[in-house]
């Protein structure tokens, strides 16, 4: 199979199959697995939510994830180069494809900027858990909520947010110092490249994250009252399956968790960009299956820690808990502080969250960094530094408007990027070349079901993710 010329003279890449898989898992295991998935499971009836969720994971993992890996590898480039390759194959010109490919790059950068704010919160709370200051708050919800309120100020509009930050000198309110620390750590990993930085870091962080989450799950299982949490998780209500919202939010959770966003970015993906670093001999369907399986395991482990914990401490009050940052930085702080061994539990939990956050953000920033390297011939360090400065300035400035910023990206840009990548691969590139891209390195050719399922079902689902997100104000 012929490939487009590589955009970098010496293109970096993953050195091992599991290095690539762990990096993709790191991209996928983000805050959605921790502060949203457990609440969705609890709110929509345990297995009543999980059954449609598993169906959508299988659908998206066997089409969209494979498609983005294959698209990136065939082009040996990120979205701009990959989309340009597709239109060149079809029309002889890459200009329109490259222009369209800028959309996922913009989405990845915007998502990374919002995530930088969140990662700053995580670094601060990890330090507070280690120092004991988080545990010293006890179960005083006023003190716990007030601490997070000072860390994450809010504003209704972007102009109000910018005015508030400017009037306080940008560091007088919010969490700017910890954002700088979080970004410096993340960029230090990225400046070392794919094999030397991202791959090595994920080989350490992901096994530790899974191991610590497993330890937490086992410990939580020993607490009195935790069994009520398992009832929430394992209950199935057949009548609940008739509720369209169950299917809509299960689909949204699977869609966004599996990192399909056209740049591959995960909290929302890095499938195209990480796929572009794959060697030709890698079995893409096998890798996609492993990513889907381990991302699901991570989400289930988070649910097995969080839902029984809340059941043990809050009892019937668990029904009043909502997902999002408040779950992790307010409710769970109260829950952990109230349980035996709570200080240690808090430390372990926030270390897990820290690893999940760092592994996700390096994936998000990789797409715009690779764009500068590929399209403008930046050296790695210069590309990392340029994007890092942009990320720092904007993330510091938008702190009070972070929630709305993330909504804009996740509701509009991420599903649009995923739909565009699907159209490019299944509709523009063509069946013969698309299948050749998927089958290269595979132990056996992918089944005849793959192409029609991707073309007629997955692409439509990606468009639906955009439409449903607008209708519901976000589905992931």
* DSSP letters spanning 431-455: HHHHHHHHHTT-SSPPPTTHHHHII
- The pair of three-digit structure tokens given for residue 358, joined into one six-digit string: 């760092």
What pLDDT does 11 receive? Answer: 65
pTM over the 0.95 mark: no
What pLDDT does 260 receive? Answer: 66
CA nearest 386: which of 406, 401, 371, 399?
A: 371
Check if the beta carbon of residue 243 is closer than 8 Å to that of residue 49. Answer: no
Check if the beta carbon of residue 356 is closer than 8 Å to that of residue 266. Answer: no
**Tokens 């808090």 map to which residue?**
346
- The angle formed by the CA atoms of residues 253, 26 and 337, to the nearest 5 degrees, is 75
- The pair of three-digit structure tokens given for residue 193, joined into one six-digit string: 């490249």
CA 242 remoteness from chain centre: 29
List per-residue pLDDT tens for the chain, 476 residues long. 444 444 444 567 888 888 888 888 888 788 888 989 999 998 898 999 999 999 999 999 999 999 999 998 999 888 999 999 999 999 999 999 999 999 999 999 999 999 999 999 999 999 999 999 999 999 999 999 999 999 999 999 999 999 999 999 999 999 999 999 999 999 999 999 988 999 999 999 999 999 999 999 999 999 999 999 998 899 899 999 999 999 999 999 999 888 765 444 332 334 677 777 878 888 999 989 998 999 899 999 999 999 999 999 988 778 788 888 999 999 999 999 999 999 999 999 999 999 999 998 998 899 899 999 999 999 999 999 999 999 999 999 999 999 999 999 999 998 999 999 999 999 999 999 999 999 999 999 999 999 999 999 999 999 999 999 999 999 98
Alpha-carbon distance of 260 to 270, in angstroms, equals 7
Q: Which helix (H) or strand (E) holds 124?
A: helix 95-131
CA nearest 116: which of 198, 76, 174?
A: 174
> Could you write out the three-class secondary structure of 386-433?
HHHHHHHHHHHHCHHHHHHHHHHHHHHHHHHHHHHHHHHHHHHHCHHH
What pLDDT does 391 receive? Answer: 97
In this structure, what DSSP letter does residue 413 have? Answer: I
CA distances, 40 to each of 321, 345, 369, 462 (Å): 11, 23, 34, 21
Q: Which helix (H) or strand (E) holds 73?
A: helix 64-75
Check if the beta carbon of residue 463 is closer than 8 Å to that of residue 419. Answer: yes
Q: Any bridge partners for residue 265, and if so which?
A: 269
In this structure, what DSSP letter does residue 172 have? Answer: S
Handedness of CA 213, 219, 223, 229 (dihedral sign): positive
CA distances, 121 to each of 46, 151, 183, 357 (Å): 29, 7, 12, 10
* DSSP letters spanning 107-123: HHHHHHHHHHHHHHHHH
Judged by DSSP in three states, 474 sits in coil
CA nearest 413: which of 107, 64, 113?
A: 107
Judged by DSSP in three states, 156 sits in coil
What pLDDT does 271 receive? Answer: 62
In this structure, what DSSP letter does residue 6 have? Answer: P
């Amino acid at each position: 199979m012929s490939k487009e010329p590589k955009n970098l003279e010496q293109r970096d890449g993953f050195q091992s199959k599991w290095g690539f898989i762990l990096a993709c898992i790191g991209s996928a295991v983000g805050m959605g697995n921790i502060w949203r998935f457990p609440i969705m499971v609890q709110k929509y009836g345990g297995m009543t939510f999980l059954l449609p969720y598993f169906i959508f994971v299988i659908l998206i993992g066997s089409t969209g994830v494979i498609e983005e890996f294959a698209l990136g590898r065939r082009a040996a480039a990120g979205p701009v180069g990959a989309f340009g390759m597709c239109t060149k194959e079809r029309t002889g010109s890459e200009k329109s494809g490259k222009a369209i490919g800028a959309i996922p790059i913009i989405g990845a950068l915007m998502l990374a900027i919002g995530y930088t704010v969140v990662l700053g919160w995580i670094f601060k709370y990890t330090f507070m858990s280690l120092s004991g200051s988080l545990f010293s708050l006890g179960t005083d919800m006023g003190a716990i909520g007030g601490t997070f309120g000072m860390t994450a100020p809010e504003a209704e509009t972007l102009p109000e947010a910018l005015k508030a930050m400017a009037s306080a000198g940008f560091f007088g309110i919010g969490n700017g110092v910890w954002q700088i620390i979080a970004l410096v750590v993340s960029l230090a990993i990225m400046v070392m490249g794919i094999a030397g930085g991202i791959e090595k870091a994920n080989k350490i962080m992901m096994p530790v994250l899974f191991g610590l989450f497993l330890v937490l799950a086992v410990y939580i299982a020993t607490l009195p009252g935790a069994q009520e949490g398992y009832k929430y998780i394992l209950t199935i209500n057949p009548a609940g399956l008739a509720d369209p919202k169950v299917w809509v939010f299960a689909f949204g959770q699977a869609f966004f968790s599996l990192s399909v966003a056209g740049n591959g970015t995960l909290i929302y993906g890095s499938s195209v960009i990480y796929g572009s670093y794959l060697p030709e001999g890698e079995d893409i369907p096998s890798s996609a299956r492993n990513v889907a399986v381990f991302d699901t395991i991570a989400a289930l482990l988070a649910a097995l820690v969080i839902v029984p914990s809340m059941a043990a401490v809050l009892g019937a009050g668990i029904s009043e808990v909502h997902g999002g940052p408040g779950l992790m930085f307010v409710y769970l702080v109260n829950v952990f502080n109230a349980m035996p061994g709570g200080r240690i539990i808090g430390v372990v939990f926030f270390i897990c969250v820290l690893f999940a956050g760092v592994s996700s953000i390096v994936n998000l920033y990789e797409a715009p960094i690779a764009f500068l390297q590929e399209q403008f011939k930046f050296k790695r360090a210069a590309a990392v530094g340029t994007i890092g400065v942009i990320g720092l300035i904007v993330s510091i400035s938008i702190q009070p408007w972070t929630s709305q910023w993330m909504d804009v990206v996740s509701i509009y840009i991420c599903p649009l990027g995923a739909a565009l990548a699907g159209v490019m691969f299944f509709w523009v590139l063509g069946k013969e070349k698309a299948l050749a891209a998927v089958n290269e390195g595979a132990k056996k050719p992918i089944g005849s079901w793959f192409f029609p399922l991707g073309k007629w079902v997955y692409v439509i689902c990606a468009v639906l993710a955009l439409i449903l997100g607008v209708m519901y104000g976000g589905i992931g």
